[in-house]
Amino acid sequence: MSKSLGQVTTAGKVIIPLLLVILVVGPIATYLLATVAGPVIMDVLNSNLGIVRFVVAITGVLLFSIPAAFIIIYMELKVIAFMNLRIGPDRVGPKGAAHSVIAGLKVLTKEDFSPNAADRTVFTWAPVIVFLTSVMTFLVIPFGPGLVGAKLNIGVLYLFSVGGMSVVGLLLAGWSSFNKYSLLGGLRAAAQVVSYEIPLTLSVVGLILLAGTLSVDQLAANQAGWFTNWYVFRQPLGALIFFIAATAEANRTPFDLTEADSEIVAGFATEYSGMRFGFLFFAEYVNVFIISALMTTFFFGAWNAPFPFPHLTVALDPGSLGILLPIAIAVGPLLVTLALAVPFWLIRTKAPAWQALLGGFALANLLAFGAIGLLTYISWDWVAGLIWFFVKSFMFVFVFVWMRGTFPRVRVDQLMGFAWKWLLPAALLNLFVTALAIIVVKSL
């Protein structure tokens, strides 16, 4: 024992006794936790449900933002690669799927450098503001029926006020770096975001007039039923203005002047490295998801399916089978596999039997998972809502990636002229026409 312990490394000498301790202490602690502490904890949680709900919602959105950003970064790399007839990332994971995760880990290990002349405090806090304002927006987005962090009755106003705060972070990031490119990037960000916020907000006012509510959750619920109920069919101009202005708000191509790498290096992010840069980068992709989700929520039916779906509660009671249940569990899969293997064997008699069995097994699994999926989709409306919400949102994410792969960047004067001379009058026109239509319809 002592001899074999002498052969392990120093780290091993620490870990092996620790493992033994954990093996002994773990079960005892679990038992105590379940019997003694469990009821007390549940009692405390139940009596403070409001606070618990808030904490859970905040943790949820914070955690959700990470995979969302990873998926969108990977999607952007891969989709643009295909559009450019390249392969794109293909080293880590199947088809390079883990690429963005590894890139994120790499950013964590990099040196956290700040320039000599930088304003250290502001330099440190700017990425935090940018990231925080992005993630805070998630709090009122309804992911499915009932799946919303906070049901604010001023949800739309909250969205725009929090979204407008991110520009403070960008401006500070640009200023505190003490670098002319960064400052230019920050100033561009401020000018652009403040200008485009006006048409962005005005484009939704028509929608609010129609819906008669400021709650995002209620807006989503209003669009139930057939897809003709979606607000895009009643507010097409508003949807278009919102789409364009949101693209500018998120600093995406063709409005990515804030970090135009051919003009001002990387804009406000030039001097950032390590995880601070990671936060800025992350926030950008979280923003892409947010504007896609908002497009979906405001104009494309939120979590509603495009057609009314029968909501059934399938009452399965496996316990009533009695002794037959274990037999069915034991024999059922085998019988199904064999039954599904028969057609494979009949089609290709020359193939060996194990290939037919393998085909049958695969088919049985496919059917089983399909059945389970269908069952969950039908019985829980929040599962269906979640699926539809993500399908629609990622469709818009794809559109944004597509735009990045296709469009050239606009000039600064074109950017400003477009916002004030075209988008703003169009948004006002949309508002007036909507108001007029509502009055006319009401007086009829």
Partner 1 sequence: MTLPATIPLLGFAWDDLLFMTLAGIMILCALAVVGMRDIIRSGLAMIICFAALAGLYVLAGAPVVAAAQVLVYIGAISVLVLFAIMLTQTKDAPRALVFQTQVVPAGIASAVLAVLIAITVAATDWPTAGARLWTNTTELAKTLFADFTLPFEVVSVLLLSAVIGGVFLAKRERGAD
Which spans of this chain sit near partner 1 (rule: CB under 8 A)? Answer: 40, 43-44, 47-48, 51, 117, 119, 122, 152-154, 157-158, 160-162, 164-165, 167-168, 171-172, 175, 178, 183, 186-187, 190-191, 193-194, 197, 214
Handedness of CA 428, 430, 433, 437 (dihedral sign): negative
Residue type, 99: H
C-beta of 438: minimal distance to partner 1 in Å? Answer: 15
Nearer to partner 1, 49 or 323 (CB): 49
C-beta of 119: minimal distance to partner 1 in Å? Answer: 8
Distance in angstroms (rounded) separating the CA atoms of residues 158 and 299: 18
Distance in angstroms (rounded) separating the CA atoms of residues 327 and 122: 67
Residue 141: name the closest of 392, 389, 396 by CA: 389
Nearer to partner 1, 76 or 217 (CB): 217
Pure H helices in 380-423: 381-406, 412-417
Nearer to partner 1, 54 or 64 (CB): 54
Cα diameter, the chain = 95
C-beta of 125: minimal distance to partner 1 in Å? Answer: 9
Distance set, CA 71 to CA 41, 104, 238, 249 (Å) = 36, 12, 29, 21
C-beta of 379: minimal distance to partner 1 in Å? Answer: 35
Distance in angstroms (rounded) separating the CA atoms of residues 156 and 217: 10
Specify whether the CB–CB gap between 256 and 196 falls below 8 A.
Answer: no
| Token code pair at residue 419 | 């916002």
* Count of beta carbons in the 10 Å neighbourhood of residue 401: 22
Distance in angstroms (rounded) separating the CA atoms of residues 105 and 75: 18
Nearer to partner 1, 185 or 301 (CB): 185
DSSP-derived secondary structure letter, 229: G
C-beta of 164: minimal distance to partner 1 in Å? Answer: 3
Nearer to partner 1, 50 or 94 (CB): 50
| Token code pair at residue 120 | 């250290």
Nearer to partner 1, 84 or 153 (CB): 153
C-beta of 124: minimal distance to partner 1 in Å? Answer: 13
Which residue do the tokens 């799927």 mark? 97
Nearer to partner 1, 49 or 316 (CB): 49
* Count of beta carbons in the 10 Å neighbourhood of residue 330: 9
C-beta of 270: minimal distance to partner 1 in Å? Answer: 16
Specify whether the CB–CB gap between 393 and 242 falls below 8 A.
Answer: no
CA-angle at 66, arms to 62 and 72, nearest 5°:
135
Distance in angstroms (rounded) separating the CA atoms of residues 98 and 257: 29
Q: Radius of gyration over alpha carbons of the chain, in Å?
A: 27
C-beta of 211: minimal distance to partner 1 in Å? Answer: 12
C-beta of 201: minimal distance to partner 1 in Å? Answer: 8
C-beta of 295: minimal distance to partner 1 in Å? Answer: 20
Residue type, 349: T
* Count of beta carbons in the 10 Å neighbourhood of residue 94: 7
Specify whether the CB–CB gap between 283 and 268 falls below 8 A.
Answer: no
Nearer to partner 1, 181 or 396 (CB): 181
C-beta of 215: minimal distance to partner 1 in Å? Answer: 9
Distance in angstroms (rounded) separating the CA atoms of residues 388 and 350: 44
Nearer to partner 1, 90 or 119 (CB): 119
Nearer to partner 1, 171 or 340 (CB): 171
Distance in angstroms (rounded) separating the CA atoms of residues 164 and 70: 24
Specify whether the CB–CB gap between 185 and 174 falls below 8 A.
Answer: yes
C-beta of 425: minimal distance to partner 1 in Å? Answer: 15
Nearer to partner 1, 47 or 355 (CB): 47
Nearer to partner 1, 15 or 36 (CB): 36
Specify whether the CB–CB gap between 58 and 149 falls below 8 A.
Answer: yes
